Chains A and B, each alone.
Chain A
Amino acid sequence: MAIMEGFNKALPLSNPYINDWKNEGKKVLGYFCSYIPEELMYAADILPIRVRARTCADTPMADAYMTPTTCSYTRCCLELANRKQYNFLDGIISCNCCDQVRRLYDNIRYKAPFPYHYIMGVPGYVSDTTIDWFKHELKKLKLNLENNFEAKISDEKLYDSIGVYNKSRTLLKELYLLRKHDNPPITGTETMNILSAGVSIPRQQFNKLLTQQLSEFKGKAGISDYKSRIMLVGSMLDEPEYIQVIEDLGGLVVTDSLCLGTRYFWDLVEVGKNPIDSLAERYLSKISCPRMTDGHPQRVQFLIDLIKEFRVDGVIFQRMKFCALWWAEIFMLRDNLKEEGVPFLDLEREYILSGAGAMKTRVQTFMEIMESR
């Protein structure tokens, strides 16, 4: 439990780990998408923090600028930036991962600026041509970081950084493998806390905590009082309370395809070759999100493999309201799951949990459907 406390301390927007880092006179940058390589920032001795906005209760300013029909994650980020809630950040790095995130970048620059801003282009499909372009983008980002933060990102530093982040990926995969068991030692809610911590604290500290946590799990009695094994699928989710609602009703979340989940860490960066090349290949070719226009067949296969490996009873799509990418993707995935005979529930949600009562009713019904099978 003590180790889990270490993760939980990282959950607020700013946290003691960030404070310690800044007290050493080092910089912190916020980033918005898992297509942005954290390794480059870390190699410049900059702490990369995934921008989260869990404390956002309302978005009046962001509604005016981003409009009320954009996803509430981006609106919450703009709102909190405008309220100076990210003052611990020395800047932000964004990308064109989706229309809303790329315009969030513009609105932040105009209405709630940071000392440093950068946006990088991420191609929309994978080919030799686009990987080559992405290498070019990563080189530009590297140069920009070096120029703006008086840092030298040598190949050696980049190798080290890749090693640290690959270690995280390996540890997280170990954690997920434990969740395959009949009686997994960890809930989905606790897993979400760990994942959120991972993108909010210095990575070496995270690796240390996670290593300790994994050894604590050895010999621990697992969870057996659940009714169904659930997989969560969708975009940005960093709210343990959301998963708690499902788990309170007897569903145990055992795996996922989420921005902060498997899609974030499943694939390693290849070592032993030019580090920029390795990063470009890994980030563009990793298990994709629907922004990648050629990736649907691979995403389906990945989903089905996970469903089998983790013996998933049912899939819950957590679909952020107004997200074009995921609505279309889920529309296609529904047919794939029907073909596989896997029950699913399509739950529209806001970034911050609202309407928990309605959600409970729908999840409860879904559980009953799965039980009756």
Chain B
Amino acid sequence: MEIDIYNKYKKLGRGNWGKDLIMWKAMYTGLLTRFKEEEFTPFVEFFLNLFLDLPKARREGKPIIMHPFNYGPELFHAMGIEPLMQEIFSVGLAPFHLNEPYIDYTNKIGYGDNPTLCNAQRPLIGTYLQGAAPIPDLLFFLSTPCNSLAMTYQVFHNLTDVPMFNMDVPYWLYDEQYETSEFYDEKTMDYMVKQVKDLKNWLEKMTNQNLDIEKFQETMKLVNEAREYVVEFNELLKTVPCPVESLVGFGNFLVMVTKGGTTDAVNATKYLRDLAAENVKEGIAGVPDEKLRIMWPYTHVFFDQDLFPFLQEEFQANVIMDILGYYQVLPHDVSTIEKCYESLAKGTLDFSMIGTCRGPIEYYIEYILNFVKEYKIDAVCMPMQFACKHAYTMARVASEAIREQLGIPVLIFGCDPYDSREVPLEAIRQRISDFITQVVL
């Protein structure tokens, strides 16, 4: 990064961000230090701006809405409401073990334990009670993918009285009587569009402003543009060798879940698409001498940021995609306002981890089988979070289907991606190494 750009961002980060944004500021400072030695790309720009947006919103008196990791923020951006994806804290602090004291405090006050309530959200309660969590103006969550998320948001609402809106994601019925599943039947779309409009009305009421139709359409066009880049990027990952290294795909998810509907998102997703396309054109591999292509149909082990580099170095293994990074929301027709609402509804149903987990297990299995075939996967790793009931309980049946239908080896193991003390880094690396050396290779 050029020194004047670094200094610009350093200056932007100065000042008092408020007591409840101390951790947010610490994460920003850490990122800036890390990026100092790297090229200043649109992705870096997106990341730094993401952290600057929150204190800026505070200064400008913009309302802040807290939402979980499985909802695109485009409607919020269209309405001038600053989105705050809550899990940035649990994901961002995990590598530095900084959320562990808050996990301990949450245990101490009696709000759940590691195997019962997911630590992606649970520490929010302890963090809030210790005055270290930002208090948003509004709260939004969905019924899917899990009870744990929905309950922690309710507890947070109960403690803070921050107004809350919940969207119900309908259970997606798998019916063997149909040859193909109807992902968006008319009734489902009608149900989701109604709820999106209910959300819009609620936001208008809460913020005392009306949705600016022109801005809404502009935002949806920007979302579409970014979605096109992501879809193209995902296609490029099918190339052997994979043109980018393991963590890059996750970047698209981070962009879309925090800044979908902004120019930052368009620039960042275009940059990643261009990077992959250029590497394909030049025959450059993300992992030199790629030997193994791994699918990771669950979340990363967030506390071990060096796990994928370790796998790359030790085994020339590229983790092609994880469940969140596989953002497969397609561009939609947004030519009318009604179509924009429909696009939001479809985007909700297809969002990472919602699309694969909002119905019976067949959809999770189909997602894995298709991905393994299309992306020429050699092995599947499922590092299941102990508290993730909806996913962990699918792993065994899914793994049997993968082995039986495709003959691909699968590793399942339990851990807590947010707390290194449950299953330590060394044990996880050893388990994956043993799997690769003894089963895969």
Contacts and interface: CB of A to CB of B under 8 A. Distances in A.
Contacts of A127: 198
Contacts of A133: 168, 170, 187, 191
Interface stretch (A92-100, A201-209, A356-364): A92-100
Contacts of A70: 389, 392-393
Given A70-B389, A103-B390, A106-B393, A293 B117 contact: no
A62 B361 CA distance: 16
A322 interface: yes
A2 interface: no
B131 to A, nearest CB: 19
A102 B154 contact: no
Given A322-B115, A325-B151, A329-B151, A67 B392 contact: yes
B414 interface: yes
Nearest to B170: A121
Interface in B132-182: 143, 146-148, 150-152, 154-155, 158, 166, 168, 170-171, 173
A119 B390 CA distance: 15
Given A124-B168, A324-B116, A331-B155, A65 B110 contact: no
A106 B191 CA distance: 25
Contact of B117 (A130, A291, A321, A327): A327
Contacts of B151: 290, 324-325, 327-329
Interface string A9-45: 0000000000000000000000000000000000000
B195 interface: yes
Contacts, number: 136
A129 interface: yes
A105 B360 contact: yes
Interface in B383-417: 384, 386-387, 389-390, 392-397, 400, 414
Contact of B150 (A65, A120, A124): A124
A323 B390 contact: no
Contacts of B115: 69, 322
B111 interface: yes
Given A121-B170, A129-B195, A332-B158, A98 B397 contact: no
Contacts of A120: 171, 173
A66 interface: yes
B112 interface: yes
Contacts of A327: 111-112, 116-117, 151
29 contacts: A65-B393, A67-B395, A100-B389, A100-B393, A103-B361, A103-B390, A106-B361, A106-B393, A107-B397, A119-B173, A123-B168, A125-B143, A125-B166, A125-B168, A133-B170, A296-B154, A322-B115, A322-B389, A324-B116, A324-B146, A324-B147, A324-B148, A327-B117, A327-B151, A328-B151, A328-B152, A329-B151, A332-B154, A332-B158
B373 interface: no
A64 interface: yes
How many residues of B sit at the interface, in one of the four size bands? 35 or more
B397 A65 contact: yes
Nearest to B392: A67
B150 A293 contact: yes
How many residues of A sit at the interface, in one of the four size bands? 35 or more
Contacts of B112: 324, 327-328, 331
A111 interface: yes
A293 B143 contact: yes
A180 interface: no
A109 B360 CA distance: 10
A324 B171 contact: no
B194 interface: yes
A124 B386 contact: no
A103 B389 contact: yes
Contacts of A328: 111-112, 117, 151-152, 154-155
A70 B384 CA distance: 13
A109 B187 CA distance: 26
B170 A332 contact: no
A256 B105 CA distance: 31
Contacts of B155: 328, 331-332
Contacts of A109: 360
Contacts of B111: 327-328, 331
A64 B116 contact: no
A70 B392 CA distance: 9
Contacts of B187: 133, 136
Interface string A311-331: 000000000011111011101
A96 B143 CA distance: 10
A107 B360 CA distance: 10
B385 to A, nearest CB: 10
Nearest to A132: B191
A69 B171 contact: no
Of B151, B195, B390, most buried by chain A (CB within 10 Å of CB) is B151
Contacts of B361: 103, 106, 110
Interface in B310-349: none
Contacts of B400: 110
Contacts of A106: 360-361, 393-394, 397
Of A67, A123, A323, most buried by chain B (CB within 10 Å of CB) is A67
A283 B400 CA distance: 37
A155 interface: no
A321 B168 CA distance: 26
A141 B397 CA distance: 26
Contacts of A140: 173
A67 B148 CA distance: 17
A70 to B, nearest CB: 6
Contacts of A105: 360
A65 B399 CA distance: 11
A324 B389 contact: yes
Contacts of A119: 171, 173, 360
Interface string A61-103: 0001111011000000000000000000000000110111011
B120 to A, nearest CB: 12
A294 B166 contact: yes
Interface string B177-209: 000000000010001001100100000000000
Contact of A324 (B117, B173, B394): B117
